[in-house]
Amino acid sequence: MKDKRSKYIRNCAILLLNFIFIVNSSFSQKEETIRSSIKTVVIDAGHGGKDPGCHGHSAQEKHVCLSIALKLGAMIKSKYPSINVIYTRSTDVFVELDERAKIANRNKADLFICIHANAAGETVFGVETYVLGLHKTEAQQLIAERENATRFLEDDKGAKYNDIDLSADAIIERKVQLAIFLDQSISFAEKIQKEFVKIGRTDRGVRQAGFMVLYRTTMPSVLIETGFLTNPSEEKFLSDSLSQVKMAKSIFTAFEKYRNELEGIDVKIIDESVNYENTSEEVKKTGATTEKDKIIFRVQIETSDKKIELTNSKFKGLKVFEYQQDKVFKYTVGEFNNDFKSANLYKKEMVSKGYQHAFVVAFLNGERINIEKAIKLAEK
């Protein structure tokens, strides 16, 4: 009788331990699903094969791009083995513009990084990162036209792109369709430019233009012009293997900061030399925020080119705040005064409710500001 009782107790204990293990495993998997906002990255080395791209006296764009792309991918794989890194090309082959975007879309990439090199006069230099948008200068238009000209090397001489409308109205409409991705694209692009400056590169800024390869991607996407091969000094720099490592490392660091910002991990990585432009004069002078100047963190869950009623069923009964930026209506939930950590936890809750692309935004005196600046100001 005593042996049967002991066996019964032991079996109950085993069942209880198994139940706890299953519950914990399920919770961990759910938590990982919520936190892993970047699971797949597609890295696109521009040009290739019969398309050399631009060139200097000896260096060709297709080789420079591929070398930096492979180095960047290796860094991501080494630090984050769970992230799936996909190359549109890993050798010197020709890949159609349309196929590059399809590779990213087919694999449901969370980020698309396109790497190129630039061309102009011998005295022009610097780095710039592009997102999809309207060009503001003739030079930006020419860069887009040069990169888009790759389509004429395809078997159908680019006929498949005849349905792509790159007029101002069409670009604006496409930007509205991809508005939530555009915010994230700009955020990543800004980080890339900051890291380039740290290694001594000249910052030509975050810019917009109608690149076909960005037009058809459906995720945050950037196109990096790593320098001008037509400038002898920059050609020498970009042809050097160690310099290519520096460039790849800069992009990787920007990627890491972008990932951490999305997931709320290790926000202390933020650069201590953040420039506080766009904040109030009082903050600039004193280095502290007044009661009036509290940082408000919210979670953005929806964007639309048309106004949405706050009682719309898509908001699931949540208390929603609306703001407008670049002629786009944007909708946020939650209100966290000087508290990024709580806002980020709330973002995870919104993701679990079905808002897969939710992210934290910040406001100062009613105006949206850069999230890195906001976190830094809130800490003070």
Domain boundary among 208, 241, 263: 263
pLDDT 10s digits, 110-123: 999 999 999 988 99
**Who wins on pLDDT, 296 or 156?**
296
51 with 183, same domain?
Answer: yes
What are the strands of the beta sheet with 84-87, ordered from one edge? 84-87, 40-45, 111-118, 221-228, 127-132, 203-209
Q: Say which residues have a Cβ less than 8 Å from residue 303's Cβ, sequence separation at least 6.
A: 176, 179, 180, 328, 329, 330, 331
Give the pLDDT confidence score for residue 33 in this predicted structure. 32
Spell out where 98-190 has E strands.
111-118, 127-132
Cα 299 from Cα 357, distance rounded (Å): 10
Residue 313 has pLDDT above 80, yes or no: yes
- Number of domains forming the structure of the chain: 3
296 bridge partner residues: 337, 363
Q: What is the CA radius of gyration of the chain?
A: 24
179 with 250, same domain?
Answer: yes
In a domain, 207, yes or no: yes
173 bridge partner residues: none
210-224, 232-246, 304-318, 333-347: which range is least confident on average? Answer: 210-224
Give the pLDDT confidence score for residue 189 in this predicted structure. 95
50-59, 102-111, 152-161, 340-349: which range is least confident on average? Answer: 152-161
User: 271: number of CA atoms within 13 Å, CB side?
Assistant: 18
Cα 93 from Cα 162, distance rounded (Å): 24
In a domain, 55, yes or no: yes
Give the pLDDT confidence score for residue 144 in this predicted structure. 46
Q: How confident is the model at residue 365 (pLDDT cuts 50, 70, 90)?
A: confident
254 with 324, same domain?
Answer: no
pLDDT 10s digits, 15-46: 444 443 333 433 333 333 333 479 999 999 99
Contact call for residues 189 and 130 (beta carbons, < 8 A): yes
In a domain, 3, yes or no: no
For range 66-85, the mean pLDDT? 94
- What CATH number does residue 115 fall under? 3.40.630.40
Q: Please report, to the nearest 10 degrees, the dihedral formed by the alpha carbons of residues 6, 8, 10, 11 taken in order.
A: 160
Q: Beta 295-304 vs 320-325: how paired, if at all?
A: unpaired
**Who wins on pLDDT, 43 or 2?**
43
Give the pLDDT confidence score for residue 3 in this predicted structure. 56
The overall pTM is greater than 0.75: no
For range 364-378, the mean pLDDT? 84
244 with 293, same domain?
Answer: no
Cα 357 from Cα 354, distance rounded (Å): 9
Q: How confident is the model at residue 214 (pLDDT cuts 50, 70, 90)?
A: confident
Give the pLDDT confidence score for residue 195 in this predicted structure. 96
Residue 304 has pLDDT above 90, yes or no: no
**26 lies in which domain range?**
8-36
326 with 212, same domain?
Answer: no
pLDDT 10s digits, 156-176: 545 544 555 555 555 555 555
- Which of these, 303, 298, 301, 274, lies nearest to 368 by C-alpha position? 298
Contact call for residues 332 and 338 (beta carbons, < 8 A): no
Read off the tokens for 341: 């950590």
94-98, 146-150, 249-253, 367-371: which range is least confident on average? Answer: 146-150
Q: How confident is the model at residue 177 (pLDDT cuts 50, 70, 90)?
A: low
> With left for phi above 0 and alpha for psi between -120 and 50, is residue 278 left, alpha or beta?
left
237 with 279, same domain?
Answer: no
Q: How confident is the model at residue 329 (pLDDT cuts 50, 70, 90)?
A: confident
DSSP helix/strand/coil, 231: coil
Contact call for residues 69 and 116 (beta carbons, < 8 A): no
Mean pLDDT of the chain, nearest integer: 77
| Most confidently modeled range among 74-88, 153-167, 262-276 | 74-88
In a domain, 220, yes or no: yes
Cα 159 from Cα 223, distance rounded (Å): 23
35-49, 55-69, 77-91, 206-220: which range is least confident on average? Answer: 206-220
Residue 234 has pLDDT above 90, yes or no: yes
Give the pLDDT confidence score for residue 87 in this predicted structure. 97
143 with 43, same domain?
Answer: yes
